[in-house]
Amino acid sequence: MNKILAIIRREFMERVRRPVFWVMALLGPLLLGGLIGYQVLLAKGGKVKSIAVVDGTSNGLGQRLVDMFAKGETFRAVSVPMSSKVVDSLRNEVSQQRLDGFVVLPVTLAQDGKAEYEASNVSSLNATEALEGNLGRLVVLARLEASGVDPHLVDAAQIRVQLETKKIVGGEARSESSGQSFFLAYMMALLLFITILTYGVNVMSSVLEEKTNRVVEVLVSSVTPFQLLLGKVIGVGGVSFFQFFIWGVTGRFLLRQRAALMARAGTTAASSGFQLPHVSIDALVIFLSFFVGGFLLYSALFAAVGSMSSNEQEARQTQQPVVYLLMISYLSILGLTNDPNSTLSVVLSLFPFTSPIAMPVRWSAGNLSALDAGISLAILVATILGVTWVAARIYRVGILMTGKRPSPKELLKWIRTA
């Protein structure tokens, strides 16, 4: 027992002592935050676009569109009257990059609702949405006015609809935007994926290190391979928990300072329209139990990979199937959050190689019972036992082997005879 403790301590201390651990532990949240911020920025479509509105209408709709844009944050526009050469000269302006684009409002706009938008970039969903929304309102206004409705009445009748989403948790409705829900689920999946991968690979390189520097011979003459593997997995796993702990502490600190930080950045929490989601105790418990399960499962696989390879390069090749297995769940995050109760989601959250990521995501995105989580966890635990049994056998033979990588047939023999 003391020997296992010594192995755990070595694995833990040697990792925590390295500067790279602290770089990841302290910069990790910043990097992750930056990654998410970057994605939000991309979705927002970047800077304000300056465009021209070519007004071919007879009742000054162009100027009204310009005024509408002025209220939003997507476009800054000027209205120019329609003439025979204006489109060509505007095209020239766009190609000279003095203008981002222009909208052509034909005289028939109010009749058939057709307009044209030409720009250097037309793939921004955000810009297209703003254009379509504003033009739509404009056309409705024009048509109502044409039928003799008082413009003030039209203005008064218009109201912006705000949809408040509430999530039902245990029969109680809780205010939470879909953005928050998604954010939480996405964060969880990303954290699980990165951590399981990083620390699984850590177990692999630790196995490989002892194999290549031959310390393993001295070790297995004093402890059983299973003790060695167990100590290694617990030690490396402990580092990952320590890392979560640091992230949790720095995360809390940053949250407390959020208002101050945002004020410095020139925004307020309200104007950013972004609230952090509520993380409940049960979500945390689910997250941590499935993390432990996922880590144990994948580190057993990675340990087997490490033991059957004789160098870093070979291991990188051999680990591919394991990484792909883990990738499945990462690639399914969007599907899982969009529809947590689809057949695919259910299958993914039961299949033990994807459930460590899929189940916490479903839990935070949907409304699942403890039984759902329990069944999934039971399958995961059973698989861990089976996989560890096989992996430990490969490990036992593999750590002492040098030279050529075993063929699948040889692997089967190792498993049978070890």
Interacting residues of 11 by C-beta distance below 8 A, sequence separation 6+ = 206, 231, 232, 234, 235, 236, 238, 239
CB closer to another protein, 122 vs 215: 215
Within 218-284, strands assigned E span none
Work out how close the CB of 41 gets to another protein at its nearest, in angstroms, rounded to a whole number. Answer: 39
* Residue from 96, 213, 343, 407 binding another protein (CB under 8 A): 213
Work out how close the CB of 206 gets to another protein at its nearest, in angstroms, rounded to a whole number. Answer: 10
- What's the rounded Cα separation, in Å, for the pair 369 and 89? 63
**Residue 339 binds another protein (CB under 8 A):** no
**Residue 314 binds another protein (CB under 8 A):** no
CB closer to another protein, 218 vs 385: 218
- What's the rounded Cα separation, in Å, for the pair 44 and 8? 47
CB closer to another protein, 96 vs 213: 213
Rounded to the nearest 10 degrees, what angle do helices 408-417 and 370-398 cross at?
100
**Residue 3 binds another protein (CB under 8 A):** yes
Work out how close the CB of 212 gets to another protein at its nearest, in angstroms, rounded to a whole number. Answer: 8
# residues contacting another protein (CB under 8 A): 22
* Residue from 26, 153, 168, 215 binding another protein (CB under 8 A): 215
Residue 21 structure tokens = 């651990």
**Stretch of 42-50, 191-199, 216-224, 238-246 contacting another protein, by CB under 8 A:** 216-224
**Residue 229 binds another protein (CB under 8 A):** no
**Residue 230 binds another protein (CB under 8 A):** no
**Residue 218 binds another protein (CB under 8 A):** yes
CB closer to another protein, 219 vs 305: 219
**Residue 6 binds another protein (CB under 8 A):** yes
Residues numbered 136 to 165 that lie near another protein (CB under 8 A) are none
**Residue 14 binds another protein (CB under 8 A):** yes
CB closer to another protein, 99 vs 208: 208
CB closer to another protein, 252 vs 413: 413
Residue 398 structure tokens = 């593999």
User: For the chain, what is the radius of gyration of the CA atoms?
Assistant: 29
* Residue from 217, 252, 253, 276 binding another protein (CB under 8 A): 217
Work out how close the CB of 217 gets to another protein at its nearest, in angstroms, rounded to a whole number. Answer: 4
Residue type, 379: I
CA nearest to 184, candidates 309, 364, 315: 364
* Residue from 93, 118, 145, 209 binding another protein (CB under 8 A): 209
Q: Phi and psi of 174, rounded to 5°?
A: -125, 130
Work out how close the CB of 303 gets to another protein at its nearest, in angstroms, rounded to a whole number. Answer: 17
Which residue has tokens 């947590």? 340
Contact 212, 403 (CB under 8 A): no
- Angle, vertex CA 186, rays to CA 182 and CA 190, nearest 5: 175
**Residue 312 binds another protein (CB under 8 A):** no
CA nearest to 319, candidates 310, 331, 306: 306
Class of residue 390 by CB neighbours under 10 A (exposed 0-12, middle 13-18, buried 19+): middle
**Residue 76 binds another protein (CB under 8 A):** no
Strand order in the sheet with 101-105: 75-81, 49-55, 101-105, 116-119
**Residue 219 binds another protein (CB under 8 A):** yes
Instruction: From residue 48, give the alpha-carbon distance in Å to each of 26, 69, 241, 267.
Output: 34, 11, 43, 17
Work out how close the CB of 196 gets to another protein at its nearest, in angstroms, rounded to a whole number. Answer: 24
The bridge status of strand 101-105 relative to strand 75-81 is: unpaired
CB closer to another protein, 180 vs 212: 212
CB closer to another protein, 202 vs 349: 202
Note the residues at the interface with another protein (CB under 8 A). Answer: 2-3, 6, 10, 13-14, 18, 209-210, 212-215, 217-224, 400
